[in-house]
Chain A
Amino acid sequence: MSIEKNEEFRPKIVAFCCNWCSYAGADLAGSSRMSYSADVKIIRVPCSCRVNPMFILRAFERGADGVIMCGCHPGDCHYTSGNFYARRRMTLLFSMLDYIGVESGRTRVEWVSAAEGAKFSQTMHEFVDKITSLGKNVRLEDLRCRNL
């Protein structure tokens, strides 16, 4: 394991935010000046159901250390049911991430409404802390093979 002692670890974190709730929540965190780490970069999608598991895998493939997806609270989706699909897809994807060598802590789903700037900021704090403690993402491998 290579440890670069002198250089502080700065994780690369991709956040997918739905346009109607979470992106607006992130905007509110901004206009309320509720700071969180600059390591988080937000990608705007119309709805959490637009997030293809492929996008998340691609992020890990390209060196992301963590991926978080935020959507409207269940029942409050702007498109009525989009976040339900997203929730099911992510549950399925996350259950397989260990298999491809990504610790499950590197992904997270959080429901943030347009009025929850504080929650957005808090969530990002927690997630960045979590990823920082997990350290740099390793190359994709099957964790179950390690014990063989």
Chain B
Amino acid sequence: MQRIGVFVCHCGTNIAATVDVKKVVEMAQHEPGVVHAEDYAYMCSEAGQELIHKAIKEKKLTGLVVCSCSPRMHETTFRNAAEKAGLNPYMVEIANIREHCSWIHKDIGEATEKAVILMRAAIAKVNLDAPLKPGESKVTKRALVIGGGIAGIQTALDIAEAGYPVDIVEKTPSIGGRMSQLDKTFPTLDCSSCILTPKMGEVNAHPLINIYTYSEVESVAGFVGDFTVEIRKKARSVDMDKCTGCGLCQEKCPSKKSLSEFNRGLSTRSAIYTPFAQAVPNVPVIDREACIKFKTGKCGICSKVCQAGAIDYDQTDEIVTEKYGAIVVATGFDMIKLDKYDEYAYSQSKDVITSLELERIMNAAGPTGGHLERLSDGKDPKEIVFIQCVGSRCADDRGKSYCSKICCMYTAKHAMLIRDKYPDTNVTVFYIDVRTPGKNFDEFYRRAVEDYGVNYIKGQVGKVIPQPNGKLLVQGADLLDSKQILKEADMVVLAAAIEPNPDVRKIATMLTASIDTNNFLTEAHAKLRPVESPTAGIFLSGVCQGPKDIPETVSQAGAAAVKAIGLLAKDKLLTNPCTAHSDELMCNGCSQCANVCPYGAITYEDREVNDHGIRERRRIAVVNDALCQGCGACTVTCPSGAMDLQGFSNRQILAEVDAICR
């Protein structure tokens, strides 16, 4: 029989306001095995842990039940406290009477009754607990960063600076991401490529960083400290080692009709191309869909002009397999598609553009050479209307429920830049709210209004109607003035919502990292562990976790790097001791458990067993503790009931069921 101590936490008033903790303590005294029960205001505090320590020593406790918050919050705290007092940490069970009880129920009687039942279940379980010892696993001292935007670049640099090798996998032909498409950045208006390009060069030159561009993650196996990743290097058709980046092939390529992804489809590019002039690596790829050689077999001009002999039409996709200790996801974002917002005439008029398209138009390397003009007729726009929150903050299925966070600031930036460069152009911004939390952000927005004369109107636009004379009629309302507004504009810019890169769902599935309904990766704790995924060894960097601007992305990238470094710095990791084990007398070696094991942790060996005096050789399932992750699939599959999971044994769960149904 165990000697169990029950500790009931008030959590200030979080628990005590709805659960009668004294009553729970009193009820605990009657439970089998309980030799000690007490309550305290904050069990997780230093003083609370001291109480536990004292009780373990004085009452010679062999098991603990802590009635407190979720085990996802403080299980480790109490296990450590137990261990300090000489008790095996796996002899601790938590009854979750906060998240699952006091916070969701109002009636004290009802909540107390439930708390008692939850406590009983925990006592029943701890009665059957056995001391467990964690094993050890190795840490591969190399990190993988998925995504080569500013988030991925910063994370990779920080990890490499700490002395660990890093690989970056980037889907497109060059690193740089969204930031490389931007013209200027708020709130200081410095040029985006001026601050990004040096970082890209640094990553390229760093001896510990290896970049796989035009590559995708194909599969991920393993677990924290020991991931095995297959990377598909898509056929570039250009030899990376031979190419000198002279650019002659792009100049001579006769197929020039493909839409430039980098310029958001506003200009064209050749079939052999680098996305932009400062691309890293400065090695082009051949777009096989557009290349005449690949389509008809006749052409081969690039091969003829290439003096380095780098063109290789026979290149095929290559799979690289590499081991990593930590993986950082930095897959970034894209703008939403606007096909559901017909009222803004995005698909009807070339002069209705998204903010990212405006960003390209304003950029000196963009489709218009940096000259602001209407894409329909090349004329200078005299009247520009910005529409905020297109697809953000939506309750319907047309848009996204969240605020995209960056639009208020970049619109102020655009408005300011336009007014600065073209003072006779009027700029009107239709907004719902102007949200400018951030250092120097509100000042920036006020400058747009006060110093640059940008006209801000409170009210979402209802409709944009292209006129026969080429103008755009904007129908809006000024809610503060109670006026409906009909305004003729030359150009309309939509602040489209941002969404996580669509590929992130596939990647999350490979990593078994959790993801929310908006396709943002979930963090391990919303406040206290914001850069870690609940899946150990997976870290989050940038917009894949939630909308954020560049300063925030860079801070988070650094934070993710530190977490990854913290992991890589360890020589060994303690493994979860809650693993499966087979009972050699009951196992009949049928192999069904091995078939369902996702980790290949089960093998078989011929072993001599003593079955009630009869000695014979039998085929027995053996679980590799280092590989087993403790899911329990095998335990239910086993037809003879030989498999059981430590820490969640059949008897323990049945005892919990019994306690709840008592």
Contacts and interface: CB of A to CB of B under 8 A. Distances in A.
Interface string B624-662: 000001111101110000000100101001101110111
Q: Which of A12, A24, A26, A121 neighbours the largest number of chain B CB atoms within 10 Å of its CB?
A: A24
B315 interface: no
Contact of B657 (A36, A44, A58, A76): A58
B657 A55 contact: yes
Interface string A15-44: 000011101101101110111101001111
Contact of A14 (B73, B111, B522, B660): B660
A64 B145 CA distance: 49
A15 B404 CA distance: 36
Contact of A38 (B113, B121, B635): B113
A73 to B, nearest CB: 9
Contact of B96 (A36, A42, A47): A42
B104 A14 contact: no
A51 interface: yes
Contacts of A64: 657, 660-661
A52 interface: yes
B512 A80 contact: yes
A59 B661 CA distance: 7
Interface in B50-107: 70-73, 96, 98-101, 103-107
A46 interface: yes
B582 to A, nearest CB: 15
Interface stretch (A81-89, A102-110, A139-147): A81-89
B514 interface: yes
Contact of B512 (A29, A76, A115): A76
Contacts, number: 157
A131 interface: no
Contacts of A116: 517
Contacts of B279: none
Nearest to A39: B114
A31 to B, nearest CB: 6
Contacts of A58: 654, 657-658
Contacts of B72: 19, 23-24, 27
Nearest to B110: A38
A68 interface: no
B653 A43 contact: yes
A85 B661 contact: no
Interface in B477-536: 508-509, 512, 514-517, 522, 534-535
Given A38-B101, A50-B648, A114-B522, A14 B631 contact: no
B596 interface: yes
Contacts of A35: 104-106
30 contacts: A23-B72, A30-B103, A30-B104, A31-B99, A35-B104, A38-B101, A38-B110, A38-B111, A38-B114, A41-B114, A43-B121, A45-B648, A46-B630, A49-B596, A50-B635, A52-B635, A54-B650, A62-B657, A62-B662, A64-B661, A78-B512, A78-B514, A79-B598, A79-B631, A80-B598, A82-B598, A85-B633, A85-B637, A89-B636, A114-B522
Interface of B: 70-73, 96, 98-101, 103-107, 110-111, 113-114, 117-118, 121, 508-509, 512, 514-517, 522, 534-535, 578, 596, 598, 629-633, 635-637, 645, 648, 650, 653-654, 656-658, 660-662
Given A55-B653, A81-B598, A115-B515, 4 more contacts: A33-B103, A50-B631, A59-B657, A115-B516
